[in-house]
Each structure stands twice: as structure tokens, then as C-alpha cells.
Structure 1
Amino acid sequence: MPKAPSKNQIETLLKQYQANNYVKAEEYALYLTKKFPNHDFAWKILSIVLKKVGKISESLTASEKLVEITPQDALAHYNLGNTYRELKKFSKAEESYKKAISFKPDLFQAYYNLGIVSKNNYKLEEAERYYRKAIHLKPNFAEAYNNLGTVLDNLNKLNEAEIYYKKAIALNPDFEEAYNNLGTNLEQQGKLNDAQTMYEKAILINPGLTNAHRQLSLIKKFDSYDQHFQQIQKIYLDKNILGEQRCHINFALAKIYEDLENFEKAFQHFTEGNKIKKKLLKYNIKNDIELFNQIKLYFKKNSQNTPKNFENKNALTPIFIIGMPRSGTTLVEQIISSHSMVTGLGELPFVLQFGYPVTTGLLESSEESLTKFRNDYLEKLEYLREKNLIVTDKTPQNFLYTGLIATCFPEAKILHVKRDPAAVCWANYKQWFKSKNLGYSYSLEDIVVYYKLYNELMEFWNKALKNKIYEVDYEALTINQEDEIKKLIKYLELSWEESCLSPEKNERSVSTASNIQIRNKIFKGSSQKWKKYKPFLDGVLDNLDTK
């Protein structure tokens, strides 16, 4: 009995595949794998065909069998890695890509995909290294230049990221994603006119690039229903635009209608966009209620495990700026980082990355685990800090991990920014967030529940940590700017510098949703803007009781 399919059988399968006749190709490949279970060709075609028809799990079985038959085939390991990545099994994908590289060290695609996996796992320095290796092996790899730019953006290396986006565009002048990413990069640097040009170029290449429309609408001030509005409205009326695309378009239209003071229409589009986003995220407030309860439970349980002494090898001192998103944390960071001794690092993912397992009981809290959390975090800061030893981390959601932060960084300062509850809740509702961890923000009812959870947790931290948290009142800060800023700088034990009174002149990059308004002078009254929508809110934000 033959151990391999005949030339005619191989050609028959190949013809079905090349003709895109995937149903027959799948059937014939299954027949050949049963008849010749140890021959690689039919398994290879079967794994590809199953993936093309959306049977990813079945494709995984075929890919694993192919690797078993040809254990030294680099491409077999590479394709297995791709399947693992599509199934979001990132650790397995990483193993497969590394195995592929061990057999074929010049496999640039494997390095590129390792960059994708590393970024998904918040291993940004590793992702940077892999993308650079992919570019070294293939210097005209436009996608790698673009992805390297996104990693450098996340590492707050915006000037360098700009260079790589431009290289990607030079290699592929029709690279719409690179234009869009460059627009975001320039926006974060405060180069709003240049950012607008990049968004417009992205849209010119692909008029249906809804994310670019949304971002462009945010940096423009609309005084009429102009051509851009007409273009967005046309996309909105297209019934084939679904999911995330329709979400972007709704938020873009809401911004335009708000500029033109048609608040009823703006509210309608905010509502539609939010409903879509919540559905896409499959968010349920019960998961956050459980998370808040877990955090309190494990803090009480593990409070006895605090190491008595922490070594501070490099004298790095973090300032954590916490609070609800859209509460004014960006403004506070701009003020503090205007000081010559402070470097503002923006929103960093590292407390979540290293601290979540300890905070929620997934990892046992011990002297060893707490020390590791501290050291891992400080290692990341050392990589990013530039020249100053005092740095800010203004990730608002770090309020969840305040107990862990206070325990592991006794030398750190923790600033809690509080703002009018209704203003914060509305600001969350009208914002499209890049993070997938803010699912509560896409329903007004969920936002109110979440705000109360947050407020109760902050009361819990204040009681447990006693005088460790300095509260910054956003409204007081905007009304009595000089007095409040001087009190803040004194609390941080910094010498006084007049530059702290003019945060709008701070030229550092800002990657948060506040990156446009932060370029303007501090102004009063922003917390009252939500009241323009009161007629449409059915009282959901009235008398928001947080006690």
C-alpha cells in the first residue's frame, strides 16, 4: 500500500484549492489525510482551507498534526503560530514562532508576528526588538515600520515613531493605516495642523476609513455642515457599514453636531455609538462589581505580607496620578511635568500588567511576589524615564491598585484627582476609548454604577492607607489655579518653578483623550458642559449620590 498520494491526487487537490473550491478541497484533503496520515501535503492544504472557511479550531488540529509529521519544517511551525495567534493563544504562538526561527533564522515573518504577540502581551521592549529584527532581515517591510511606530508610540518615543511611520509611507505611499497612525502621533505631539493633513490623506486613500473620520472630527472645530460632514453622513446612511465602523461614524457625527450646538442630534449619535460599542465588547457591569469586591477582599487578606524594607537601587520616585478617566488627570500631569525635575510618562500599562494577578488573588501575595512587582515596574520606568529620577504615571484606572501601589512604593506620591461626578460620568459617556478595559463607559446606567463603585473603593483606600493619598479637587484647581498648584508642588516636595502655572506651554507629548484641550490655558466651567444634554438624560445624572 503506498505511503504517499500519487502525483495525480496531489494535483487534483491543488487544483481545487487554487480554484477557491474550498468545500471540495476540504473533503478531498480529509480523504487523503485518512488514507495517507503521515504525509504532509494534504495536512498542509487542509489546515489552510479550514482557516479560509473560518474553521480555526479544526485548522489548529491539522496544523498540529503537520508539525508532528514534519518537526523540522520552519513554515509548519510558523503557520501553527499564526493559528494560535488567531485563537488568542499568545504564549503558544510565541513558542511556535521561536521554533520556526530556530530552523530558519532569516524567517522575517516570524519575527514580525513575534512583535505582534509581544505587543498584545504588553511586552513592548520585546516587540520593538522583534520588529527591528524583521526590518533588518527585510529592509523594505513597510508593515514592520508601521508596527514599530505603534510600539514606540506606546513607549512615549513619539519623535522616533514619527520617523518610522514616514518610512512606512515612503515604502508604500498608499498605506492608509500608516497615515492614520502618523496623524495620531502628530496629534499627541500637539502638531494639530499636520495631524489633520495626515488624517485627510488617509481618508483620500480610503474614504471609508471610519477611525480616521472620527479622529479628524475631534481636532476640527465645525462651524458649518461642511464637505467632511457630508462625507461622514453618506457613510452613516450606508446600511452595509456595521460594527466598529458604525461606532466610529456615530462618535464623529456626535462631535460635529455638538460643535454646531445641535445637542439633540449629538445625543442621538452618542447613544447609538455607545450601544454598538458595549455590544461589541460584550460588557456586563457584574464583572466589574466582582472585581471591586475581589480587590478589597485580597487587600485585607494580604495586608500582612508587606515586606519591611524595599531596596531602591536607582532612587527612582514615581508619582501616581489616579482617578476616574476624564477627571483631570492629564491636566495634573501637565502641571507637574512642567517642572524641570519631573518627566511625565503618561498612561502606562505596567501596574495592570504586573499587579493584576497579585491584586485579584490569581497570584499569591508574598514578600517575593510584592518585591517582584516593584522591581518589574521600576525596570520599565528606568527604560522610559529619560534624565529625571522623578516620573509620573497618570493611568487613571490605577485607582484599582492603590493598595498595592502604596504597599510596594512607600516613597511614591499618590495623587487622586476628583471632579464633579456628573461631569465625569458624562465625559466618559461621550468618549470613544481605545482601551478595552473601560466597557462600563458605553452605558449611562453602567457609568453611574461604576462611579459609585470607584467612590466606595477610594473611601476604602483612604481609610486603610491613612494620609497616603493627596486629593486634588479639579474644580478648585481651575478656579484658584495659583494657590492649588503651589499647594500641590509643595506636597510633592519640589522647589517652586513658575512654569508649573502654564501647563499649556508644556511641549511634552500627550497620548490621552485630553491631548487637544490640554494645549489650551486652564479654564473654568468645563464641568458644567454636561448640562447642555440635561433635557435628554431623563435625570440619570441628577443628584448623583456617591455616599
Structure 2
Amino acid sequence: MEQTLRRAAKLARSGDGAGAAALYREILAKFPANAQAKRGLQAMAGGPSPAAAARRPGAAPARPAGAMPPPRQMQALDQAFRQGRFDRVIAEGQRLALMFPAAPGLLNLIALALSRSARHDEAVTWFDRAAKADPLFAGAPVNKAQSLIALGRLTEAAEAARAAARLDPGMVQAHLLLGYALVNSGDAKAGEASFRTAVKLAPQVAETHLGLGNALSAQHRQDEALAAFEAARDIAPDSMDAANNIGNTLRALNRPDEAVAELDAALERQPRNPVLMTNLARAQRDLGRPEQVIALATRALDIDPADADTWSLLASAHRELGDAKAAVAAYDEALEIDPDNPSGLALKWFTTPLTLDHPDFARIGTLFDREDIAQTDRATLGFILFATLDAAGRHDDAFAILDRANRLRREAEPYEMDDVLRQMDQMRALFADELPAPPAGAIDAPAKPRPVLIVGMPRSGTTLVEQIVASHSQVHGAGELEDLNRIMSALGWTHGKAGQPPTPEALQRVRHDYLDYLTRLDTSKPVMTDKMPINFRWLGFVLSAIPEARVLFVRRDPMATCWSNYRHVFMGQGNNFGCDQRDTAAMYRLHIDLMAFWKARFPGQITEISYEALTTDQEAESRKLVAAIGLDWEEACLDFHKTRRAVRTTSTAQVRRKMYTGSNEAWRPYRAHLAPMRDALGPLADPEQPQ
């Protein structure tokens, strides 16, 4: 409270009367008898008498319906509250309430002590009593809103905050709590309006800008959110909330290097803050630095070993580096803290095989059937059950679970394949005639590093190809980068929708923004791979904007590829065509047709690699793809499984082993269930091939 009083006085001296008054009201909502806050608010209001100040709705109880306890007793309770002796406040306050049942200040103080003791249900009852004793006292409903938020009763919290704001439109805390309740109940747009009111009332209070930033972030307006969080930091340079939010927003904007700088600087100021360490670890993970992730997560867990999310983050870093044993140990720690966490269970058993007789198989089956769990989480658990039944040879039971899991995911996150097909028809039409000229300066200033895009269907072997070329001393394997999707989205090419044509301005933007991001990944190697498979959609823009780029197109057996997409779960919604047999087949046919078109339009820039040829004639095919990206051969490319680097795809375990064959036949036990896929593939399905 003393710190808040000092901040209010500082705002008053600087001329921000509204901000100072807002802070004084917040104090009086909790401590109606605080003389210093009353005097400050009186000064902000132009100097009315103490009695008049007491009648202000948000200041102190306006018109007690009954007698108040003697001032000495109220002061003693006030002091006990400030000392954190909440049990004493509750016990002594409730004794006094028997004698003074309609004293709003006393009732409010009892309720606050209950709230601070995490007895929120009881606190709500006492806040209601305080409001009934003085219907004009805005402090009671605003404090009630705080307790309702703690109980997760967000709709009621919003109503209580609205009631406080109606009583005192200038009470910043009411607008902050209303905004919080609205944003966290799914109405971020309405929450934004509340936070903007709070900012207008108290522009020098950091919390108002933080709330606004969170409302904007919830609407995916990350640039605006960043500006709001930076405004909060300008007001409160040492605010860890501001630093964390800035770091996380920079990550959302795909600026992880800036996020690292921001969070690193904040961690220097608070070197034992585990939340900062964990968020910094996440930013380092975005930059493909699993060793730093492990170091930071370990430090955070030394301070706060009860954080399940940080254990999971540590586990994922070990998994990316191929250390399954360490990953499982960390997942076990996370599950010890939160045993029924669907994500933790799924990630653990994606890392190591689950057996039918393990207790977790039954537990996952129970969670899979629970309708109160998010459909996407249930779907993920279903893929674990499928893999376990598949390994046990129970193919019909396995497929029944797999089909159900895919239906759950498709219902939760629909994918409109027809829209994508129309979009790609429009894309082809833009490049059907004369190709656009490369941007000015593209020839004179070649890209450093030079990008190599590895494309194809997901599960076609793109991770294996990247692992081979990333074993070369001159290549940095960057993994699956989201940058082209973001750049094309900014040009209007969102899901199923056509955007800007390849004008000189659009191509310049593609070149500048994509190469700018690659330079942020902090590598001195001259070649960098981006193995986002479905970047094949954007090759016309990329190869026109960056003619020095090269493309490795990995093609795999149609049924093997489509089955692998159908039987695996992917992060995000971009690959959700895989949730439907016909959509998966349609995407396969689209990628074959589109890649044939790009190869004809950009001769010499695209090299096709057969997954089957690569797995049966490793050295010859590996030499071919290394030559295709303009590099001399190195023997390390044959020992790709020994290369230590982060791999964040579902193929992370496969690329740690020597080359193997046979995975193309995994669909055959399910042939009877895959008629929709085979029909949609048509002749590509090769129905005459023996079973």
C-alpha cells in the first residue's frame, strides 16, 4: 500500500490527476479508513471536506446504515490486515460484526481478509453484505469481482465489475477487472474496450497498458499488443510482467532473437526469476538451441521444481536432441505434478512406446472418452491409443480409435480442402504466362545465407533429407520455419484465399522479410535449409523473389504418404487435411500437379528426390541432392544419424537411426478401411499392386 501511495503522489505531482485519483480509489476500496488516500483524493477532487470526500462512491462507504466500530478498533484491524494477520482480522472483525452488522467498512475489511486467505466463497458473501449496507460503496463490488475471478466465475465477476464501474466510472480497478473477466471468458473485443477506458483514466499506470496488450494479443493483433506492452515497460522499466509479455509477443511475431534480448536483459535484473528463465528458454527453442533450453529450464526448476510446464519444456529439448531417456524422465516429473494432463501424457508416449498392459493405456482410454476434455486433446490421446493397438497387431480396434480421433480433430478444427484447391488454381494462373522479373538488386546482392527449401507432402521424407544435408559443414538446418506462411499471409494469401499478385513490391517484400529472418538465426554457414513441407504452395513467389534459392522436392509413394498423414497427429491446423482420407488424397494430388507446374516454370531450380530411391541407394541419391544445392560432397552426409541437432518433427526418432526401408508397407494391414483414400487417389493408388 505504501508503494501505491507513493506512486499516486508522484502522478499527482506530475499533473496526472486522473491517474493519481485512480490509485487513491483503489486503496480506499480496500482500506476505506485510510486517511492519506482520503486526503489525496480530496486534493484531486478540488478540496471538498472529508465528509464530502467520504460520499464519493468509490472512496469510502458513503452513508453507513448503522453505527461503525470505534475508530481505535478499526485502526487496530487495519494494522493487523497490513501486517498479514488475516486470521485475527477475520475473528475479531466477525465478533464486531455481531454488534455492528451494517458497518460497510468493517464488512468489507472482513471480506478482504477472507479473500487474502483464499476463502473466496466466504469473501463473496461478506462483500455482498457490505454492498447491501451501503449500495453506493463501489469498493464492495470491485473487491467481489476479484474473488469471483479467483473462483473462476468469470461471468459473475464481469457483472460485479460493471456494477462498480456504474457506481464510480472513474474507478480504474473496476475497468481492469471487467476487462480481465471478459478476455478470459472469450470476449476479447469487449475486454479491449474496458482496458482502453482504464488507459484513458490512468495513462501512467502500467497495469492498464498490460491489460490492453493482453486483450489485443487474444485477438491475434500482436503488433498492437507489443506497442501496449512497451508502453507499460516505459512506465515501469523493472516490471517483469511487461518484460515477459514483450518477450512472448515478439515470439508470436516470429522475432525470437529480439525476444531473447528482451528476456535476457530482464533476467539480468531478476536473476532468480523462474518465469523469465522459462520464457527465455522458449525463445531459445524457437531459435533451435536445445542446449540453451536445457540449461535455462534446469535453472528454473532448481528454483521452482513444481512447474509441470517447465518440466515438459525440458523434456521436449531432450527429445529434439534424440535423448529419449532424459525426455521420458522429465515428462515423468511433469506427470507427477499433473498426472492427468493430456498433453504431458501424449508427449511422453510419443517419445517411448506404450504397451497394452501399462496402467497409462487404461488411463489414456478413460481420458479419451471424457467429453469435458478439449476435443483436440482427446484426439491427441487417441493417436497414442492407436499406435499402441497397432503395435500389438489389433488392427481393426486400432483403426476404430484412429478414425474417431481424426473425426474429433476435424470437428474441432475444420479444414476446407475445396477452398485450398481453388486458391492454388488462382496461384497457378498468376505464373502461367511470363514470369515476373526478380526484385532490383537480387542479382547484385545474393542472399547470405542462401536458402534451400525442402518441400513435399508431410511425412514424405523431408526431415530425412534435411538431416542429410544438415550434416554438411556448410549447411545450417533450420527446421520447419513459419516465415513464408506469415509473409504470404501478410500479402493476403491466407487459408483458401487468394492475395496480392507477384508485383515488384510484393516480391521485394518476400525477399526482404524472408532473408531478414534467416539472418536472425545466427549462423555463419553459407547455406540454410527450411523444411516446411507445404511451402510448395508458395514457390512461384519465392523463386521469383529469390532466384538464387534452390528447392529439393521429396516425393514418396502415394498410399504410404497419405496413410502416414492420416495416422499421425500434427501441431497446429496447417496439416489438418490429414484428418480426412479424401482430403489427404486431394492434397497429395495437388502437390504432384503443382510441383510439375513449378518445375516447368523454374527449370534448374528444383530437384526431385525419390524417397524410395534414397532409402535403397543412399550414397548415390545423397550425392545427387548435395550437388543440387551447389556444394561439394562430404562423407559426413552418409552418417546423418550421428549429427547432433534439434529435430522438432514427428520424425525426430527416425533420423537418429541409420537408413532403413519397409515403412512404405505400414498401410497394408488397413487396406480394407482405406477405400475413400484409394478412390480419391485414383490411378496413383496402384490398386493392382499385390497385398
The answer, yes or no, to whether TM exceeds 0.5 is yes
Q: Please name the residue that 1:210 is paired with.
A: 342
Aligned CA distance change for structure 1 residues 225 and 105 (closer, same or farther; 3 Å): same
**How far did residue 175 of structure 1 move?**
1.1
Counterparts of 1:192 and 1:25, CA distance in 2: 45
> 1:362 deviation in Å?
4.1
Aligned residue type for 2:612: E
Give yes or no for the alignment of 1:479 onto 2:616. yes
CA distance in 2, matches of 1:278, 1:34: 44
- Give, in whole Å, the separation in 2 of the partners of 1:127 and 1:291: 34
Which whole-Å CA distance do the structure 1 matches of 2:615 and 2:161 have between them?
69
The 3-state SS of whatever aligns with 2:435 is helix
Change (3 A) 1:236 1:160: same
Cα–Cα, structure 1 residues 91 and 478, in superposed 2: closer, same or farther, change >3 Å?
same
Structure 2 equivalent of residue 497 of structure 1: 634
What's the counterpart of residue 17 of structure 1?
145
Instruction: Tell whether the 8 Å contact from 2:586 to 2:681 is kept in structure 1 after alignment.
Output: no
d(CA) in 2 for partners of 1:309, 1:15? 62
Q: Find the aligned partners of 1:139 and 1:266 in 2 and give their Cα distance.
A: 49
Q: Secondary structure at the match of 2:138?
A: helix
Deviation at 1:287, TM superposition (A): 3.1
Is 1:322 matched up with 2:455? yes
The correspondence for 2:571, drawn from 412, 415, 434, is 434
Deviation at 1:3, TM superposition (A): 6.6
Q: CA deviation at 1:23?
A: 6.7
1:196 aligned to which of 328, 331, 345? 328
The Cα shift of 1:481 comes to: 1.9
Pair 1:333-2:492 in alignment: no
Structure 1 residue 544 displacement after superposition: 2.4
- For 2:302, the aligned partner's letter is A
Indicate the residue corresponding to 1:468 in structure 2. 605
User: Does residue 291 of structure 2 align to residue 159 of structure 1?
Assistant: yes
Structure 1, unpaired ranges of 5+: none
| Displacement after TM superposition at 1:239 (Å) | 4.9
Looking at structure 1, the residues matched to 382 and 618 of structure 2 have their Cα atoms a distance apart, in angstroms, of: 36
**SS in structure 2 opposite 1:454?**
helix
Counterpart CA distance in 1 for 2:222 and 2:282 is: 19
Q: Name the CA shift for 1:71/1:336 in 2 (closer, same or farther; >3 Å).
A: same
Aligned position for 1:249? 381
| Distance change >3 Å, CA 154–CA 475, structure 1 → 2 | same
Task: Name which of 666, 680, 683 aligns with 1:529.
Answer: 666
Cα deviation 1:212-232 (Å, max 9, x = unaligned): 222222232346522332332
Q: What is the aligned partner in structure 2 of residue 401 from structure 1?
A: 538
In the alignment, the residues of structure 2 paired with residue 380 and residue 49 of structure 1 have an alpha-carbon distance, to the nearest angstrom, of 37
Question: What SS does the corresponding residue of 1:318 show, helix, strand or coil?
Answer: strand
Structure 2 CA distance, aligned partners of 1:86 and 1:118? Answer: 14
SS of residue paired to 1:404: helix
Deviation at 1:447, TM superposition (A): 0.8
Map 1:14-53 → 2, pairs under 5 A: 14-20=142-148, 26-27=158-159, 29-31=161-163, 33-34=165-166, 36-51=168-183
- 2:486 aligned partner: 353
Deviations 1:109-149 (A, max 9, x none): 01211222222222222222333244334333323322222
**Structure 1 stretch displaced more, 224-233 or 259-268:** 224-233
Within-5 A mapping of 1:276-355: 276-300=408-432, 303-307=435-439, 309-310=441-442, 311-312=444-445, 315-355=448-488
2:588 alignment partner, one of 443, 451, 469: 451
> Shift of the alpha carbon at 1:41?
4.6
CA deviation map 1:245-278 (0-9, x unaligned): 2122111111111221222222122212211112
Q: Give 1:414's aligned residue.
A: 551
Residues 1:216 and 1:33: Cα distance change in structure 2 (over 3 Å)? closer
What is the CA-CA distance between 1:185 and the residue it aligns to?
1.0
Counterparts of residues 65-84 of structure 1 (less than 5 Å): 65-84=197-216
Partner of 1:100: 232
Instruction: From the superposition, tell whether residues 34 and 339 of structure 1 become closer, same or farther in structure 2 (CA, over 3 Å).
Output: closer
Corresponding letter in the other structure for 2:511: R
- Partner of 2:271, secondary structure, is coil
2:253 to 107, 121, 129: 121
Contact residue 359 and residue 401 of structure 1 kept, 8 A: no
Say whether the 8 Å CA contact 1:283–1:440 is kept in structure 2. Answer: yes
Question: 2:34 matched to which residue of 1?
Answer: none
Which has the bigger relative contact order, CA under 8 A and spacing at least 6?
A: 1
Percent identity at matched positions? 27
Structure 2: distance between partners of 1:69 and 1:474: 63
Name which of structure 1's ranges 35-44 and 244-253 shifts more when overlaid on structure 2. Answer: 35-44
Specify the SS of the correspondent of 2:436.
helix
In structure 1, the partner of 2:508 is: 371
Residue in structure 2 matching 1:7, options 60, 65, 79: 60
Question: For residues 71 and 316 of structure 1, what CA distance do their matches in structure 2 show?
Answer: 44
Give the superposition deviation at 1:15. Answer: 4.6
**Once the two structures are superposed, what CA deviation does each residue of 1:499-546 show, in whole Å capped at 9, x if it has no partner?**
222222222221111000111111122111111211222352268237
- More displaced, 23-32 or 147-156? 23-32
Conserved 8 A contact 1:452-1:546 = no
Q: Counterpart of 2:217? A: 85
Number of residue pairs matched by the alignment: 547
Matches within 5 A, 1:202-281: 202-222=334-354, 225-281=357-413
Provide the rounded CA distance (Å) in 1 between the counterparts of 2:163 and 2:143.
Answer: 16
Residue 300 of structure 2 corresponds to 168
Shift of 1:189: 0.4
Moved more, 416-425 or 275-284: 275-284
* 1:305, distance to aligned residue in structure 2 (A): 4.4
Letter in 2 for 1:190: G
Change (3 A) 1:432 1:78: same
Change (3 A) 1:19 1:315: closer
Q: 2:675 maps to what in 1?
A: 538
Cα RMSD (Å):
2.7
SS in 2 for 1:540: helix
Give the conservation status (yes or no) of the 8 Å contact 2:146–2:157. Answer: no
After superposition, the Cα gap between the structure-2 partners of 1:541 and 1:165, relative to the gap in structure 1 and judged at 3 Å, is: farther
Q: Write the deviation string for residues 167-221 of structure 1: whole angstroms up to 9, x where unpaired.
A: 2211211111111121111111011111111112212221112222222222323
**Residue equivalent to 1:184:** 316
- Supply the distance in 2 between the matched residues of 1:236 and 1:328 (Cα, whole angstroms): 30
Residues 162 and 182, structure 1, Cα contact 8 Å, conserved in 2: yes
Q: CA deviation at 1:329?
A: 0.7
**More moved, 57-66 vs 195-204:** 57-66
**Aligned letter for 1:422?**
M
Give the aligned residue type for 2:217: R
- Of the structure 1 ranges 424-433 and 127-136, higher mean CA displacement relative to structure 2 is found in 127-136
**TM-score, length of structure 2 as denominator length:** 0.74
Q: How many angstroms apart in 1 are the aligned matches of 2:480 and 2:155?
A: 48
Label 1:389 to 1:263 Cα distance change in 2 as closer, same or farther (>3 A).
same
Q: How many angstroms does 1:433 deviate by? A: 0.8
Aligned residues of 1:455 and 1:546 also touching (Cα < 8 A)? no
Using a 3 Å threshold, how does the CA distance of structure 1 residues 72 and 270 change in structure 2: closer, same or farther? same
Letter in 2 for 1:331: L
Compare CA radii of gyration and give the structure with the larger one: 2
Q: Could you tell me how far 1:415 is from its partner in structure 2?
A: 0.8
